[in-house]
């Protein structure tokens, strides 16, 4: 299992469009991917699941990925966070 800690650095946090991008990306991998924040663990492939975390800028999220392509999934998601979900230049 791969586990990474990710900082939310985009201004709007995990809002609807960011969550849509994240779940779309997670769905491209076979691995089970979960996000953990503030004691809640949600399926990263579920848009609504991600939204229920209500995570904002500055918050730290833990990502867990399990499966044959877990490493690639976790890296791709970490990169999406780094790119601020392509919302800001």
- DSSP calls for 13-81: -S-HHHHHHHHHHHTTSSSEEEEEETTEEEETT-HHHHHTT---TT-EEEEEEESTTHHHHHHHHHHHH
Applying CB under 8 A, which of residues 1, 5, 11, 17 lies at the interface with another protein?
17
Whether 24 sits among the annotated catalytic residues: the reply is: no
Residue 15 vs 66, nearer CB to another protein: 15
Task: Tell me which residues in 47-66 interact with another protein (CB under 8 A).
Answer: 47-48
Shortest Å, Cβ 6 to another protein: 21
Q: Token pair of 37, please?
A: 């924040």
Would you tell me which residues interact with another protein (CB under 8 A)? 16-17, 20-21, 23-24, 27, 38-39, 47-48
Q: What is the set of active-site residues?
A: 15
């Amino acid at each position: 299992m791969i586990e990474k800690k990710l900082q939310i650095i985009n201004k709007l946090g995990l809002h609807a469009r960011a969550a849509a991008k994240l779940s779309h990306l997670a769905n491209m991998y076979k691995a089970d991917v979960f996000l953990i924040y503030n004691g809640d663990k949600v399926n990263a492939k579920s848009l609504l699941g991600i939204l229920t975390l209500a995570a904002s800028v500055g918050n730290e999220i833990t990502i867990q990925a399990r499966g044959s392509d877990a490493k690639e999934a976790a890296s791709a998601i970490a990169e999406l966070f780094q790119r601020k979900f392509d919302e800001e230049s």
